Structure 1
Amino acid sequence: MRCCRCAVLLVLCICPLASLVMAPCPRGCCCPHPGFLVLCESLGLRSLPRSVPLSTSALSVARNQLCDVDHLLSPFSGLQELSLGHNLLTRFPRGLPPSLESLQLQENRITYITAGALRQLGNLTRLDLEDNRIRAIQPGALRGLGKLRVLTLKGNELTSLPSNLPPSLTHLDLSENCIAALDLASLSSLVNLQVLNINSNCLRSVPDSAFDKLPSLRSVDLNNNLWACECDILYLYRWLLSGRLKMATDLVCAEPVHLAHRLLMNLSVMAICPRLLKPVDRTQLSSDLETTRPTSKRDRVEMLQKASKETSAGLFPEDIQQDFPRTRLLPYSLETLTYEECLFLNKTPPLSTSHLKTTASRPEEEQGCRDNVTVRYPQSNATSAGGSVPSTNREAVMVTPNTRPFTRQDSAAIVSLLAVLCVLVALLMLAVLLVLKKILVRQQRVAPLDVGSGG
C-alpha cells in the first residue's frame, strides 16, 4: 500500500511539470507537430501566446501586432526558426535564444541595428530584414555571425554598404536602398559570395577591381541604378564584356544628358570616355618638348623610327584601351614638326584603331563623324613654291582641298526644292484641267443651236 501511495504521489508531482513542457497547442494557433512546430499567424496578437511549448523548435507569430518581444523568447532554448515578420517592431529584438538558425523580421519598423543586438546569435545562417526602415547598421554589428549565409536587406534606407560583413555570406540582397557607392573593403572579404543583388539603388559607377576578388560570384543584379556612362564606368563596362557571369547587361545610362536612356553595352569606349582621344594640351606639350625632344636631326629621326615601331606594334592603342593616356605622345604640330619629319611620317603606316572596337555597336552620334574624315590623295613629285625638295624626299603629300561634305542641310534644301516643283506641277495640271472643262462646257452649249438651225 505504501508503495502504491508513493507512486501516486510521484505521478501527481510529475504530471503538472510535464503539462507545462508538453502543453497543448495555443488557442487559435496551428500545430502540425505539437511541441516542435507552432504557427500563430494573423491572429491580431499584441503579445506572445503563453501556452507555447518550451520544446518548440520552429515558431511563427507573423502578421500580428507585436510591438515588443524583448527577453520573452529566451526560455525557448531549443528554438531554431523564428518568424516575426509583418509586425510593429521598432527595434531589433533583444534576448533571443542563441540556438536560432533562421530569423525573419521582414516588414517591421526597425530603423537601426546596434553592435550588440546580434551578439548572442552566432548560429544564425539566415537573416531577413526586408522592407524595414533601416538607415544605419553600426560597424561590427554583423561581425560575430560566423555562420550567416543569407542576408536580406532589401527595401530599406541604407546609403552605404554595411561594414564588417561576415565572409561566410553566399547570398546578399541590398536592392531597393539608397546606396551610392560600393566599399571595396567590405566587398573584398566576401570570398564565398555567390549572389549579389544591388539593383534599384543610386550607384553611378563601380570602383576598379570591385568584383575581381570575389572568386565564387556567379550572379549579379545591377539594374535600375543611376549609371553615369563616363570614364569611371569603364571597369564595369569591360567586366560585363568579359562574359565572366551570365547576367543581364541591360544597364541604362542616366548621365550624361546626350547618353541618357541608352544601354551601356550599346556604346563604344570612345562614346563613354571621349577624352581618350582628345589632343594633348599645347602648353603642356611645349613644356614636355623642351625636355624630351632631341635637338639634333639624327636623334629626331631615331625618335621617329622608335615611334613608328611602337605604332606598328600597337603599343599606343593598348595604353589608350587601359585608360592610361601617354603624356609624351609624338608632337604633330606646326611648331614642332619639320617638313622632313612630316615626309618620314608619311611613309609610316597610319595608327590602326581597329582593335579599339568593342562588341557593342557604335552610337548614332559617332556614325556621323565618319563624314568628316580627311581625304587622302595620291602622292606627287611636285615641289613647293619656295624651292625644290631633294630627290630622296620627293614623295610629298598633296594639300588636301577644302571640300565641303554633303550635309543634312543640303539634303533638306533639295527636298524642299523638289516639294516646290511638285506643287508647281500640280497647279499647272489643275489649270489645264480647268481650261479643258470650260472648252467642253462651251461646246455643249453651242451644239444644240447648230442642230436647230439645220431643221
Structure 2
Amino acid sequence: MLWCQRGVLLVLCPLACLAALPCPPGCCCPRPGFLVLCESLGLRSLPRSVPLSTSGLSVARNQLCNVDHLLRPFSSLQELSLSHNLLARFPRGLPSRLESLLLQENRITYITSGALRHLGNLTLLDLEDNRIRAIQPGALLGLSKLQVLTLKGNRLTSLPLNLPSSLTHLDLSENCISVLDLPSLSALVNLQVLRINSNCLRSVPESAFDRLPRLRSVDLANNLWACECEILYLYRWLLSGRPRTATDLVCTEPVHLVHHLLLNLSVFTICPRVLRPNESSHQLDLNSPLEGEQETLAAKPTGQSANKKDLGSSARRESQESTVGLKSRALLNYYSLETLTYEACLSLNKTQTVSPPPLKNTTPTPPIETQKGRDNVTGRTPKYNATLAEGTQSLLSTNTDVVRPTRSTQRVMLHGSAVVVSLLVVLCALVILLMLLVLLLLRKILSRQQSVAPLDVGSGG
C-alpha cells in the first residue's frame, strides 16, 4: 500500500511542487511539512531545511554513508526510506515513532540489539539485498508490533533467534539457511506467509509447521532437498495440502533421485527402511514393551513360588503372544503409507531378512491380524487392488515371531494333501480299468456258450 501511494505521489509530484513553499532544494513535497521525497539526487548527507513536522521522508537512491542520530529531531517521523544507499551498518538514533523503515540495497553486515532498542512501534522492516551475516539473539524481540520482516537476499546461515511473535509475513528467501531453528519458528503463532525459498535446506524438522496455526502460504522451492528418511515429515505435510504451498520440490540427493519431484516418489523410494525396526529413531522397537503393556506387567505380582514355575512360564508365553499382536497393530497405526504400491510391497518382501525362531514344543496361536497378513503373503492369487491396510499387514506379518514355522507347516500340509488326492485318483482309475476288463471277459464267455449249445442239440437227434 505504501509503494502504491508513493507511485501516485511521484506522478502528481511536479504539479504539487509548484504550490509547495517550504521544501528542500531539488526535493519534492506533495504534502509540505508531511511528505518529503528527496530521491536520486546524489546526496552524501541529509538535505537541509526538511520540516521537523515531516511524517514521511524518502532519501532513497543517494550516496548516504552514515545518518546516525541525524534524524532524532524528527519526532513526528513515521515512514522512512533509506534504501539504495551506502549504509554500512544499521542507522542509530532513529525516531521512536517510526512505523515503516526501508533499508533495502545497502551494505549492512550485522544487526545489534542496541540499534533497534527504541523502535517498538515498527510494523514494517525491509532489509532486502544487504550483506547481513548475523543478527544478535533478541535483537528483534523488542519489536512487539512488527508484522512484516524482509531479510531476502542476505547471507544468513540460520533462522534469526527470538523473532517477535507479532510477525505475519516473514521473507528469508535467497540466503544460505541450512537449518530451521524449531523454538524460534514455533514462537511465530501469528505467522501467515513464510518465504524461505532459494536457501540450503536439506530437510525440515519434525512438527516444524504444526505449531503455526495461521500459516496459509509457504514457499520452499529451490533448496537442496535430500529425499531421504529425514524428509518424510515434509513429504506428509505437503500431501496434507493445508497451506498454499508450491509442491514442485526437486531432489538434489541421493544421486539416483536427483532432479526427481519429491511428491512423485513413494514412501519406500524415499526411505526403504521405513518398516524395518531398530534402524531409525522414528520407528518402534519390537523388543521393548508398549506403554499399556508396561502398566499391565507392572500390575502383576512378582513373588512367584517355586511350585508355580510352569504356570508362570505359560503366562509369559501368553503375554508374548499378545505383545506380538499389539506391536503389529501399533506399527500399522504408526505408519501412514499413502502411496504404497504392490511392486514396492514385493520389493520390500524380497529385502526382508528375518531369521526364524527356534522350534518349541508348543506352537503359539498367532493373532487375527497376523493370520490375515499371512494369507495375503502366501495366498494363491495376489490381489493388485488390495487395500492399504491389508498390504501393510502383509508386510508386518513377515516380521513377527510366529509366522515362519506356521507357514512352513501349512506348506507341508498342502503338499501332503495334494499327494493323497493324486494317489486316490490313480487308484480309482485302476479300479475302473479292472472292472472293464472283468466285464469284457464275462461277455466273451457268454457269447462262446451261446455258440456251442445249438451244435450239441443237433448231434443228439
TM class, shorter-length: 0.5 to 0.7
Residue type at the aligned position of 1:90: A
Residue 243 (1) aligns with residue 241 (2):
yes
Structure 1 equivalent of residue 58 of structure 2: 60
8 Å contact kept, 2:152–2:173: yes
* Superposition map of 1:413-432 within 5 A: none
Counterpart pick for 1:333 among 332, 355, 379: 355
Deviations 1:54-95 (A, max 9, x none): 111111010111111111111111011000000000001111
CA RMSD of aligned residues (A): 3.8
Which of 317, 320, 333 matches 1:318?
A: 333
Shift of 1:339: 10
Could you list the runs of 5+ residues in structure 1 that have no partner in the other structure?
1-21, 289-293, 323-329, 359-375, 385-393, 397-455
Distance in 1, Cα, partners of 2:353 & 2:42: 79
Distance 1:356 1:319, change over 3 A: farther
SS in 1 for 2:116: coil
User: Structure 2: 5+ residue runs without aligned partners?
Assistant: 1-19, 280-284, 289-308, 338-351, 377-386, 393-407, 420-461
Are the aligned partners of 1:122 and 1:147 in contact in 2 as well (CA < 8 Å)?
Answer: yes
Q: CA deviation at 1:172?
A: 0.5
Query: Percent identity between the aligned chains?
Result: 67
Q: Deviations over 1:369-414 (max 9, x none)?
A: xxxxxxx9x9574668xxxxxxxxx799xxxxxxxxxxxxxxxxxx
Select which of 244, 249, 252 maps to 2:250. Answer: 252
Mark the CA change 1:341 to 1:149 in structure 2 (over 3 Å): closer, same or farther: same
Partner of 1:403: none
Structure 1 window deviating more from structure 2 (343-352 vs 112-121): it is 343-352
**Paired residue for 1:348, among 348, 355, 371?**
371
* Aligned residues of 2:228 and 2:254 also touching (Cα < 8 A): yes
Structure 1 residue 277, shift from structure 2 partner: 3.3
CA deviations over 1:404-446 (Å, ceiling 9, x no partner): xxxxxxxxxxxxxxxxxxxxxxxxxxxxxxxxxxxxxxxxxxx
Equivalent AA in structure 1 for residue 184 of structure 2: S
**Mapped partners of 2:236, 2:194: distance in 1:** 19
Distance in 1 (alpha carbons) for counterparts of 2:122 and 2:354 = 65
1:92-138 CA distances to partner (integer Å, 9 max, x unpaired)? Answer: 11111111110000000000111100111111110000000000001
TM-score, normalised to structure 2, is 0.64
1:151 aligns to what SS in structure 2? strand
After superposition, the Cα gap between the structure-2 partners of 1:233 and 1:59, relative to the gap in structure 1 and judged at 3 Å, is: same
For 1:173, the equivalent position in structure 2 comes to 171
Contact preservation (8 Å) 2:44, 2:62: yes
Instruction: Spell out structure 1 runs of 4+ moving beyond 6 A.
Output: 285-288, 294-301, 342-347
Aligned to 1:214: 212
Shift of 1:321: 4.2
Q: CA deviation at 1:271?
A: 1.3
Q: Once the 2 structures are TM-superposed, how far is the Cα of residue 310 of structure 1 from its aligned partner?
A: 4.8
Identify the residue that residue 97 of structure 1 maps to in structure 2. 95
Q: How does 1:96-175 map to 2 (within 5 A)?
A: 96-175=94-173
Report the count of equivalent residues.
Answer: 335
Question: CA 1:251/1:75 → structure 2, altered by over 3 Å: closer, same or farther?
Answer: same
What is the CA–CA distance in structure 2 between the aligned matches of 1:126 and 1:86, rounded to whole Å? Answer: 17
Shift of 1:314: 4.2
Counterpart-to-counterpart distance in 2, 1:266 and 1:32: 55
Change in Cα spacing, 1:25 to 1:354, as seen in structure 2 (3 Å) is same
Q: Which letter does structure 2 place at the counterpart of 1:240? A: L
Instruction: For 1:102 and 1:245, locate their aligned partners in 2 and report how far apart those are by CA, in whole Å.
Output: 28
Measured in 2, the distance between the counterparts of 1:76 and 1:250 equals: 48
Q: Is the 8 A contact 1:23 1:35 kept in 2?
A: no
Q: Secondary structure at the match of 1:87?
A: coil
Structure 2 partner of 1:434: none
